[in-house]
Structure 1
């Protein structure tokens, strides 16, 4: 993968995660302590992030740097989900389990 494609891929992951969280670019940029203009160019792959900025964006979007850079999840990503699941009671958890099973089945897993 060349540098341009990598920048676009990372930018796309950032955009998808930002939208999952319901943030505007401006909100995500502010949470990342980056300018809105710079954040926008990162999402489109026109600019690369330095290490410090990757860490800031990952923290702001509650996702691992592994996911942003490589597209793979790690323990931090699964811990985030586990923390959310711990708020559910037994019945809610079992309902969600069925939803996840059906989702995975639809994806072919």
Structure 2
């Protein structure tokens, strides 16, 4: 999995968690103290977030970092 695919997968997981808790992008961005357009880019896999930003997003998403990153990157056997 290349970097672009990893970011896209993380963005999809973030979007799924946001929808699961019934929040809009604007609400989550406000809670995480990030710009809404930046948050949208994260969900689209266009931004590589720092660990501290990921932690703020997870707090707003009511989950821990492990919930969003489990299995990333995939471990190749062999």
Do these two structures clear the TM 0.5 threshold for a shared fold by scoring above it?
yes
- TM-score range (shorter-chain normalised) is 0.7 to 0.9
In the other structure, the counterpart of 2:59 is: 59
Question: Per-residue deviation at 1:43?
Answer: 0.1
Provide the aligned C-alpha RMSD in A. Answer: 1.4
TM-score, scaled relative to structure 2: 0.86
Counting matched residue pairs gives 72
Q: 1:10-33: per-residue Cα shift (whole Å, max 9, x none)?
A: 000000000011100000111111
- The answer to which structure has the higher helix fraction is 1
* Aligned mates of 2:71, 2:65 — CA distance in 1: 9
Structure exhibiting the larger radius of gyration computed from Cα positions: 1
Quick one: structure 1 residues 32 and 71, their matched pair in 2 at CA, closer, same or farther if it must change by over 3 Å?
Answer: farther
TM-score, scaled relative to structure 1: 0.63
Question: Per-residue deviation at 1:71?
Answer: 5.2
In the other structure, the counterpart of 2:38 is: 38
**What are the ranges of 5 or more consecutive residues in structure 2 without an aligned counterpart?**
73-78
What is the SS of the residue equivalent to 1:48?
coil
* Aligned mates of 1:48, 1:16 — CA distance in 2: 18
Question: Per-residue deviation at 1:68?
Answer: 1.5
